[in-house]
Amino acid sequence: MDDQTFLGDYGKNFWHKPAKRDSDIQTVLPIKKIRKTYPQNWKIYDYVKSNEKIFFMKVLKALIDSLKLPYDYKGNGRLPITIEDRLKSCILKVYQKSDARKLVSDLILFKSLGFLNYAPSFRSINYFMEDSRLTLYLNQLIKLTAEPLAPIESCVAIDSTGFSTFNRVDWIDIRFSKYYNKLRKDYKKLHIVTGTKSNIILSAKITKGTVHDSPEFEDLIKQSVYFDIKQVAGDPAYLSRKNCEIVASIKAVPFILPKKNSTTRAKGSPAWSHMVKFFRDNETEFRKHYHTRSNVESSFAMLKRNYLPYVRAKSDIGQENEGLCKVICHNIAVLIMSVFEYNLNTKYLETN
């Protein structure tokens, strides 16, 4: 707001007609913008955050134990490090936001507390992150961490973000550069479906920076059907008749923002026609549902702020596994908070 507005009606001619005396000028103070806030149970928040690392280790151990992973040992030579300990080491590396060397002392401590069977060396930890066999188990862990929140989530949002890669151009510099199309290969893309109430991530996928958002829509939504989804919100990058029908096939309602030239012609997609018609007839109500997708930005902000906006690994497999580890860390933190905030019952964390 400029000075002319502050001066009210008199300010209309202020710059062309100087005041003759000081008493003619009425000082109007600017109106302070009130920041929108949300209620928070600070007692629960303080308790959970003060004990999060302890809860995190308990939940992580319970989750990995529930996978009942195989132990590959042929009966000769040195005993290999179990897949359980490999998964825990990789996830803890991301959770601690630490390089492998500094992590070793933490793993020795966790081993003494019974959360690990073996504390590997820093070279082994980096080797584990490059193991393609772990990718499948990491995806399973994302689902296991999200399942307990199914009763409180019915509306989801879908979007993608970027992670800067090791020793390359920062993601934020790429995103707003005029050379975006040439530079975007220098980052990894994280595609997610997230709940709009708790910010839990239902499904995730790591791709190259050159991959467009829309083709990933179908896989992500179908991986999320273990939730009873009622509506799906997405930005115009996902706007297509095919995607509307995918949402309709799981008995949910799409709220993907139409473009100015979008028509109501179905062309084999009744869900598209209904969505565009609803947008035109009642745009205000449509936008209320559509803007629930803003919560996906909150999920990205939480994930990057807590577990770094870049990946340390150098290979594609390592970067994918590290990105999935970030999602798991985020989900476990959300799960722990939700257990206390929504009184959820889960076998992974006993609150008594």
Q: DSSP per residue over 36-75, as a string?
A: P-----HHHHHHHHHTHHHHHHHHHHHHHHHH-------S
Torsion sign (Cα): 146, 149, 154, 160:
negative
For the domain covering 149-313, report its CATH number. 3.30.420
Contact call for residues 306 and 330 (beta carbons, < 8 A): yes
Q: What is the pLDDT of residues 253-275, one digit of tens each?
A: 999 999 999 999 999 999 999 99
Residue 116 CB-density burial (10 A; 0-12 exposed, 13-18 middle, 19+ buried): buried
φ, ψ (nearest 5 deg) of residue 309: -90, 20
Higher pLDDT, 30 or 326: 326
Q: DSSP per residue over 77-111, as a string?
A: SSPPPPHHHHHHHHHHHHHTT--HHHHHHHHHHHH
- Quote the pTM value: 0.84
Tracing tokens 């893309």 back to the chain, one arrives at 189
β-pair partners for 206: 190
Higher pLDDT, 186 or 18: 186
SS (H, E, C) 297-308: HHHHHHHHHHHC
Give me the pLDDT at residue 121, please: 93
Closest by CA to 322, choosing from 97, 27, 156, is 97
Q: What is the pLDDT of residues 36-75, one digit of tens each?
A: 666 788 898 999 999 999 999 999 999 999 998 887 777 7
**Helix (H), strand (E) counts: the chain:** 15, 5
The residue-averaged pLDDT of 213-233 equals: 96
- The ranges assigned to domains in the chain are 1-37, 149-313
